[in-house]
A = this chain, B = another copy of it.
């Protein structure tokens, strides 16, 4: 088992990465000095496979869990389900020292995290991410929340977990599409922070697509380490942390205009990252051949790379992007790359450039 520490002073915590962790959730929670009553929040895909193991492990360690399940998928990440969870926590009489375990992908982690952050003004949170995307990204760093009809993650909090348990066995049963969507965040870490990781992904992508356990363990640990380093320096996104949003402004907009139904988050940010790379070629000097390396790696991972929208969809996308949390004084701020492994945040992008890239203009086409 590998352990990555997230250094946040009194809110520091560990990420554990290894096989068989679902059956050790109880033991790991027992170290945290928590009360006996707890809740496991999961979804309709994950609960049938793993909730029983997690619940049994908690009971064996002396805890009294109740298990609640939301429908799988991004449309569940909303206040209606948050409210239903609150009511269950009240019925199970959770107390201030109780805790909530989030067992599932990014949707479950974000929603259960927000429930934990706000129930009784905050109870402890244990993240048990079961998707690649949640293991390398959403379960680490403390961003929790839900969507509004008007946009993604518009409601939420910064709320750090007590521990993150990444059970590698859960990745074996992940549907192919969801697994590939997780690779979009993995590739992102290479682009924003670590050229060596990017080269390794270019070299080892086939092994990753085969879900080779050793390669996975190493790559996931490296991604968590990068996220821990970034979040450790800037917990609440005053500056540096913004680099984690590379490709996300356009990606979130694409999710919003398709009402969170058409694309998985990873697919949307794959398109968003390629578009951001194209903007970077125009504005921050990213060489055109690097844009192509980035595009090619997403493509090899089986992810969509081209934003194809008609004029009306494009206008709706621009409208949705203006609602993004990263807007300041009405101006959209982007993370743009200088080269693979190095990005700049807070970059203003002229409306015309944005429209041109969204209309499909690539720098290679010289339009």
The docked-state distance in angstroms from the alpha carbon of A329 to that of B287 is: 61
Q: Judging by beta carbons under 8 Å apart, are A328 and B87 in contact?
A: no
Tell me whether A50 is interfacial, beta carbon within 8 Å.
no
Check A154–B90 contact: CB distance below 8 A: yes
**B328 and A120 contacting across the interface, CB-CB below 8 Å:** no
CA A79 to CA B85, docked complex, whole Å: 13
**A123 and chain B: residue at smallest CB distance:** B325
In angstroms, how far is the closest chain B Cβ from the Cβ of A144? 8
A79/B90 in contact, CB under 8 A? no
**Given known contacts A87-B148, A90-B148, A329 and B95 CB-to-CB distance under 8 angstroms:** yes
A36 partner residues in chain B, CB cutoff 8 A: 329
Chain B residues within an 8 Å CB radius of A309: none
Q: Using Cβ atoms and an 8 Å threshold, which residues of chain B touch A148?
A: 86-87, 90
Which of chain B's residues have a CB closer than 8 A to the CB of A87?
148-150
Looking at A101-109, A155-163, A262-270, the stretch in contact with chain B turns out to be A155-163
Give the interface centre of A83, A93, A114, A328 by most chain B CB atoms within 10 Å: A83
State the oligomeric state as a number of copies.
2
Minimum CB distance partner of A149 in chain B = B87
CB pair B118–A156 under 8 Å, yes or no, is yes
Q: CA of A117 to CA of B155 in the docked complex: distance in angstroms?
A: 9
Contact of A90 with B121 in the complex, beta carbons under 8 Å: no
How many interface residues does A have (CB within 8 Å)? 40
CA of A282 to CA of B97 in the docked complex: distance in angstroms? 29
Whether B151 and A121, one on each chain, are in contact in the complex, defined by CB atoms closer than 8 angstroms, is no
- Which of A93, A117, A118, A119 has the largest number of chain B CB atoms within 10 A? A118
Q: Enumerate chain B residues within 8 angstroms of A121, measured Cβ to Cβ.
A: 143, 145, 156-158, 236, 325
Residue A155 contacts which of B118, B143, B323 (CB distance < 8 angstroms)? B118
Contact with B along A27-48 (1 / 0, CB 8 A): 0000000011000000000000
Closest Cβ of chain B: how far from A140's Cβ, in Å? 16
User: Looking at the complex, which one of B114, B157, B328 makes contact with A97 (CB distance below 8 Å)?
Assistant: B328
- A352, CB-defined interface residue at 8 Å: no
A121-B145, A148-B87 known; A96+B325 contact, CB < 8 A? yes
Expressed in whole angstroms, the Cα–Cα distance for A145 and B325 within the complex equals 22
Contact of A322 among B91, B93, B323 (CB under 8 A): B93
Assembly CA distance A328 to B154 (angstroms) = 33
Q: Which of A95, A114, A145, A329 has the most CB of B within 10 A?
A: A95
The B-contacting residues of A in range 42-85, CB under 8 angstroms, are 79, 82-83
**A181 to B322, alpha carbons, bound, how many Å?**
45
Q: Please, how many angstroms separate the alpha-carbon atoms of A86 and B145 in the complex?
A: 13
A232 at the interface (CB under 8 A from B): no
A122 to chain B, nearest CB (A): 7
Asked if A328 and B95 make an inter-chain contact with CB atoms under 8 angstroms apart, the answer reads: yes
Please, could you name 15 A-B residue pairs with CB atoms under 8 Å apart, sorted by A?
A35-B329, A79-B86, A86-B154, A95-B330, A96-B326, A96-B328, A97-B329, A118-B145, A118-B156, A118-B157, A120-B325, A121-B145, A121-B325, A122-B158, A157-B157
